Amino acid sequence: MKEHTTNYFNTFIEIAEDCPIDQAEIPPLKGDAKSVANLQFEMINKNPYKFSSDDVLFQVFVDRKEILVEEMATARKAFFSKGQACFRASPLTKRYAWGIHSNSEGKIALIAAGTDEYEKFINDPNLKKYKAMKSKR
């Protein structure tokens, strides 16, 4: 069974061209359940450059599906046996104006749009750059 990945290396994912805001904002809580954006934001913001894209996307899947610890290895294999949307499709990059930097080890951090740090990553010639996917066609 082929294993797919969403990991990037030495890459910066810029916010989407049609992102409705220019300054990054923390995804608001809506009701009791945390959204995908809330879960992704919390995990990456508290742990910059600790997790890969695959780690974050799978952990959010585990949290939302309430997968048991003893089922995680099998669930991870099944999860990555088919292609998964990467952070170019994340609400963080499409709606909440957060860039995603992947370092040389594939570990990721959030970079707030509208900051000098974001501009530094946009202008770094050593990074591959991709725009997040547009919300509208």
pLDDT tens digits, 65-94: 999 999 999 999 999 999 899 999 999 999
**pTM for the whole structure:** 0.93
Beta bridge partners, 13, equal 100, 130
pLDDT beyond 70 at 1: no
DSSP H or E run through 131: strand 128-131
What's the pLDDT band for 3 if we cut at 50, 70, 90?
confident
Q: Report the alpha-carbon distance of residue 80 to residue 54 in Å, rounded.
A: 9
Q: Report the alpha-carbon distance of residue 35 to residue 82 in Å, rounded.
A: 23
pLDDT at residue 32, as a whole number = 85
pLDDT tens digits, 17-48: 999 999 999 999 988 889 999 999 999 999 99
pLDDT tens digits, 111-131: 999 999 999 999 999 999 999
- Pairs from 45-52 (Cβ < 8 Å, separation ≥ 24): 45/110, 48/108, 48/109, 48/110, 49/103, 49/105, 49/107, 49/108, 49/109, 50/107, 51/107, 51/108, 52/7, 52/102, 52/105, 52/106, 52/107, 52/108
